[in-house]
Amino acid sequence: MDKKTEILGIRFDDISADDAAESIFCASRQRSNMPCTVFTPNALISMSCYDDAELLRMINSATFILPDGTGVVSAAKRQRNQILQRVTGIDTAGAVMAKLARVGGSV
């Protein structure tokens, strides 16, 4: 994923929900010693990162950072950045697990 939108120092992936689920699914199927990490910061977590450099560093180290919250999407628009859509963690996890189940994969 190349397109990022930065809000309060967090580098959010600018990706649709369907593309996020597919990308995470593909990353999880790769045989690698590197874990695939996914964070879904909402506005509250984003504000916490503003005051906590270690939390910000940890979130920005993730493989995927998805905008989980209308506050994040609204903040992007106010900054004249366009995030495609809100991508909730629970919906993304469900979609990835469904894809894994179809191929006999696991989390």
pLDDT tens digits for range 5-46:
999 999 999 999 999 999 999 998 887 677 889 999 999 999
Q: Give CA torsion, residues 38, 77, 82, 94, to 10 deg.
A: 30
- Give the whole-angstrom CA distance, residue 28 versus residue 10: 23
Q: pTM above 0.95?
A: no
Q: How far from chain centre, in Å, is Cα 30?
A: 18
What pLDDT, on a 0 to 100 scale, did the predictor assign at position 29? Answer: 82
Q: How much is the CA Rg of the chain, to the nearest whole Å? A: 14
What pLDDT, on a 0 to 100 scale, did the predictor assign at position 1? Answer: 53
Helix (H, G, I), strand (E, B) or coil at 10: strand
